[in-house]
Structure 1
Amino acid sequence: MPGFRRKITKHFGDSLTPSKPYLSYHDILLTSDDIVSLKYDWLTDNNIAFWEEWLEREVLPKYPRAHIVLLRPSITFLLMQAIDLKSIGSALPDFRKTTHIFLPVNDSRDRERADGGSHWSLLVVSVIDRVAFHYDSLGGANFYEAQKCTERLGRVLGLSLRFHQMEDSPQQGNNSDCGVYVCIVMRHLLIKRLLNANSNEKVSMSMANKVIDSSGGRKEMMQIIESLRKEGERRRSLSPMSTSSKSGSSKTPPRIE
């Protein structure tokens, strides 16, 4: 989603700008706090936004005919909290050719805090079928939020969307893995169900019997981040603009763009 950071800053201001940069990956800036959360705690907006950015940059280009949108957590929050939906049009992508939309849903009800809330779930909207599938790893904890998100997105699309709570969604075993479940389920549905689907067959969106390895998921995401960080360091070392100043380099994170 080109220009994502510019668009979201327009609506939320500079308060979202992190202070301890760790990796700059296209439109996403991960911080050291994000890394700590990814390793041990509840995933941040940035963690999930990075995962979506990575899927967009590394996976979706292999399927040029796909018209799938991965909305960032802050955009989903904006969609759910905006008083006037017309006022956020500039922050939303062009949905005219879109077949499916993935939305990370958070239970924050505070309009002033895009990073609030305590639970993540995943909403997948099939625009072509006019159905919204909700995957919640904590029973129906985000049922209200997901229904609200579905209704508001339907208004933006000009469609009446049927809401379907996926009762077979894998369930987390603790209080901190909801974001990891969102990321793993997102990738599974994106790649295994949608991108590799046979055009002659009806795609099942069920997650029945799918086992989620949250610990392995965290490690894999960290491995991806560390690999990109090393590549960013390598590119910086080869750049004629690179500096030998340790203080300067410490303030500038490795960058991939």
Structure 2
Amino acid sequence: MSFMILQTPNPHSLREALPDFSRTTHVFLPINDCRNVTEAEGGTHWSLLLISVVDGVAFHYDSLPPGNYWEARQVTMKVGALLGRNIRFIHLEDSPLQENGSDCGVFVCLSMRHLLMKRLLAANANEKVSMSLGGRKVDARAGRKEIAKIIDGFRKEGERRRSASLSPLGKKSRSPPRIE
């Protein structure tokens, strides 16, 4: 979605293709540095943009700065245009930093989960929430393992559902019990 917003000169032309943000409090947008719309798997780096619609503020988390600063700022301005209001852009200088050139996607996933689960969903409605990730340590290796485990769980669930829908009466066929 963020790539589509970034690459479209007039974001209002996307209104029907995008979700209705009128009842949304926060939008999480992975940002990629690909600028070539003809390149399906382009770009070399991912970062996270969290837009607090209720507060009119966008927070940019980049594990390899300056990284996607320009892209995140452009998406913020275009989302603001879609919402009909200015969105203040904050590039957070205290984002956890990756130690190599290949962990940016893992950092995006783990940061998104932390911000959602530990900050936004854990807060009271009238409570101010710190959106800083300063001092937070990210274990990319453990994160990769966790993400692989989640994907494997979805794969197994998909296989279970497919086999259940293919068997007679929508249930898994069972072998008769063996008598020994």
Give 2:92's aligned residue: 166
Q: With structure 2 as the length reference, what TM-score do the two structures score?
A: 0.88
- Percent of paired sites with the same residue: 55
In the alignment, the residues of structure 1 paired with residue 44 and residue 96 of structure 2 have an alpha-carbon distance, to the nearest angstrom, of: 18
Which secondary structure does the structure 1 equivalent of 2:80 belong to? helix
**Paired AA for residue 82 in structure 1:** T
Q: With structure 1 as the length reference, what TM-score do the two structures score?
A: 0.63
Would the aligned equivalents of 2:11 and 2:79 in 1 still touch at CA under 8 Å? Answer: no
Please, which of 221, 224, 233 is the counterpart of residue 150 of structure 2? 224
Deviations along 1:128-163, one digit per CA (max 9) or x if unpaired, are: 111110000002211111111111111111110111
Change in CA separation of 1:168 and 1:80 when aligned onto 2, cut-off 3 Å: same
- Structure 1 unaligned residues grouped into runs of 5+: 1-74, 243-257
The 5 A counterparts of 1:35-50 are none
In the alignment, the residues of structure 2 paired with residue 94 and residue 239 of structure 1 have an alpha-carbon distance, to the nearest angstrom, of: 33
Change in CA separation of 1:240 and 1:112 when aligned onto 2, cut-off 3 Å: closer
More relative contact order, 1 or 2 (CA 8 Å, 6+ apart): 1
Which secondary structure does the structure 2 equivalent of 1:121 belong to? strand
Moved more, 231-240 or 139-148: 231-240
The 5 A counterparts of 1:202-217 are 202-217=128-143
Would the aligned equivalents of 1:101 and 1:125 in 2 still touch at CA under 8 Å? Answer: yes
In the alignment, the residues of structure 2 paired with residue 206 and residue 101 of structure 1 have an alpha-carbon distance, to the nearest angstrom, of: 16
Give 1:132's aligned residue: 58
Would the aligned equivalents of 1:181 and 1:212 in 2 still touch at CA under 8 Å? Answer: yes
Would the aligned equivalents of 1:77 and 1:114 in 2 still touch at CA under 8 Å? Answer: no
Deviations along 1:179-215, one digit per CA (max 9) or x if unpaired, are: 1100000000011111111223210001011111111
Please, which of 95, 101, 111 is the counterpart of residue 37 of structure 2? 111
In the alignment, the residues of structure 1 paired with residue 143 and residue 155 of structure 2 have an alpha-carbon distance, to the nearest angstrom, of: 18
In the alignment, the residues of structure 2 paired with residue 102 and residue 228 of structure 1 have an alpha-carbon distance, to the nearest angstrom, of: 22
Give 2:121's aligned residue: 195
Deviations along 1:201-232, one digit per CA (max 9) or x if unpaired, are: 21000101111111111111111111222222
How many aligned positions are there? 168
**Paired AA for residue 29 in structure 2:** L
Which secondary structure does the structure 1 equivalent of 2:90 belong to? strand
Q: Cα RMSD between the aligned structures? A: 1.4
In the alignment, the residues of structure 1 paired with residue 166 and residue 51 of structure 2 have an alpha-carbon distance, to the nearest angstrom, of: 46
In the alignment, the residues of structure 2 paired with residue 121 and residue 221 of structure 1 have an alpha-carbon distance, to the nearest angstrom, of: 17
**Paired AA for residue 7 in structure 2:** Q
